[in-house]
Structures are given as C-alpha cells and as structure tokens.
Amino acid sequence: MGLKNLLGVALAFALVASGPTPAQASAPVTPPGTPQAAGTQFLSAATVDLAWMPAATGTNPIAAYEVYARRPGWTYPDQLLTTTTSAWVFVPIGGLRPATTYQLYVRARDTSGLPGPASAPVTITTLPSDIVPGPPVATDATATTATVSWRPPAVAIERIAGYDLIVPSATPTQPIQIRTSMGPSTTSAQLTGLRPGTTYTFIVVARYTDGTPRSAPSTHGTVTTAPSVPPSPPSDLTVTTFTPTSATLSWTASAPGDFPISRYYTYVNGGALGVPNPGPDVRTVTFAVSPGSTYEVYVRAVDQAGIYSAPSETFTFTAPGQ
C-alpha cells in the first residue's frame, strides 16, 4: 500500500476515534409503590370515609393519591372520585349513588405524572337514601357554641330510636367521638365548649329500633364558630429583682377580649420559661438565671376560651456577674 493510502486510512481511523461518544443508557424510572387500603368508616347513601397506607416512593416523590371507583358489571370507564395528598387518614369520598355497589381503589402518582399500581379494591354498597339522615347544618353559631340541625330520614318515626352526633375519627387507630345523643323526635343539638374561629366536622347517625344496622350516617357537615376578640398583649415588662441566680419578671395586666383572662404564659429565649404559669391575678414570675448571661423574655395572655394574645414586647437583660 502506498504512503498516500496509508495516510488516508490513518486519517479515517482518527476521525472515527474522535467522534461523539455514544450516550450512556439512562437508569430506569421506578414508579410509586402500591397503596394498601386500611379500611372504611361511616358508609352513607352517597359517601364513605376511606383510609389507606402510604405507597413506597419510587424514583420521584409522590405528588398525590387518586381514588377511583368502578361498578361491577358496567363497561363505563372507572371514575376518578378525588385527588388528595393524604395517606393514613380517613378521606371523605363523595359522588356515589345510593344503594349501589362499588369497588374503590387507590393509586399513587409521582411528581413526573407517572402512576403506580392500583391498590386491591375495596367493595362497598351504599345505603338506601331513605334511611339516611341529612347532614348537620349550623343554624346558629357563636364563638364557643353552635346549634346544629339535620333532616330526619324518610322513615316512620317509630323506626327511629334516636340520633348520635359524631366527630369522625381522623385515622384508622383513633376512636370516634360521640358528641351528643338525642331522642327520636329531636333533630337538633346545642353544642358548647367550642373554640372560637374553628371549623368542626360532624356526621349524624340514626339509630333504629327494628334491627337496621346502626351505621346509617349522614354525609359530613361542618360548623364554623365565630372569631373572638383576643386579650390585649401584656405590657410594661421589667425585671424588678435580681439575685445571683434568679430574676423576677413583672408586667401590667392584659385587657380581656370577649372572655376573661385565664392565665399568663412566659417565654425566655424563644422557649417556654419552665415555671408555673401564673393565673389572672398574678403578674410576676421568678426564674433561674446564670450570671453574665443575656435573656430575651416576653409574655402572652390566654383567655378562658383558649385564645392567646399577641406577645408582649420583648424585654432583654443581662444577669449581673458574680
């Protein structure tokens, strides 16, 4: 082979060797794992509370859980009922028809939109609408009280033994709370001891006399109490007494808002002071200090409804050295 041909072969080899490197194969993307249904509660004519265990995370974080329903024997596409970020809590699922059998399942979807496998289905049959009371509705609400009422089920009153107003449990391991029980002819309840500016969720369960299952609940209803005027912040913070190891803090009383003052909470360097919280007629606390250390203290009042004032102005001092 001549010198010219040898140079041509060498040049071609060099061009091939210096060409682009083939792209490395990307790692496979793993979808989220399979959620596991943990149970249901309070099946009504149109709703049910469903809980599930969280799915294992795949390559990307889980963005949401999707709850679907299919009706056995139907050829229609499965229905997306709700999308939520919750797991291991009871999620109210609506959009169901009375006296209808459904298979509910859950799947996780990650932040890239990739769905994971569907959970095993949970089969439910919603109740006939005539045995289910209407949801509780607030007819009057103050800062700490509310009157709620509901529509009775469309059955003869002789079949009704009474009603329970229930706070649904949040998780599968938390017990339900029966707020009050009423007789068969009473379809309203007066609630007391509520917190101002707070939304509560309730359901009404009808109890029957003829062997009908007790689980005949309404759909969820909410009650929101009125906001309350909080106490004013304590004022005039000062240290009145020093010892080598303690300081005594005093302040001027807060003005009550809608409710009387219950006690004062004191804080030092961003945390609780660690001493008993004085009642409304005591406006001084003594606490331990270290010589030469600097302290930032403030006080808040709380009233008998559990409403806190804004913090007082922060008072800063340095304990004297020994």
Q: Is the pLDDT of residue 2 over 80?
A: no
Residue 207, strand partner residues: 162
Architecture of domain 129-224: Sandwich (2.60)
Q: Which DSSP letter does residue 22 get?
A: P
Q: Is 235-318 in the same CATH topology as 129-224?
A: yes
Q: Which candidate, 167, 129, 222, places its Cα nearest to that of 41?
A: 167
Integer Cα distance of 6 and 1 in angstroms:
7
Residue 213 confidence class, pLDDT cut points 50, 70, 90: low
- Give the residue-averaged pLDDT of 232-261: 93
Integer Cα distance of 133 and 216 in angstroms:
8
On whether the CB atoms of residues 221 and 179 are closer than 8 A, the answer is: no
Q: Extract the tokens encoding 42.
A: 């309070």
Computed over every residue of the chain, the mean pLDDT equals 90
Residue 11 confidence class, pLDDT cut points 50, 70, 90: very low
Q: Which DSSP letter does residue 78 get?
A: P
> What CATH number does domain 36-125 carry, 2.40.50.140, 3.60.15.10, 2.102.10.10, 2.60.40.10?
2.60.40.10
CATH number of 235-318: 2.60.40.10
Whether pTM exceeds 0.85:
no
Residue 111 parent element (H or E)? none
Taking the domains of the chain in order of start, what are their residue ranges? 36-125, 129-224, 235-318
On whether the CB atoms of residues 216 and 133 are closer than 8 A, the answer is: yes
Query: 19 or 64: which carries more pLDDT confidence?
Result: 64
Helix, strand or coil for residue 15? helix
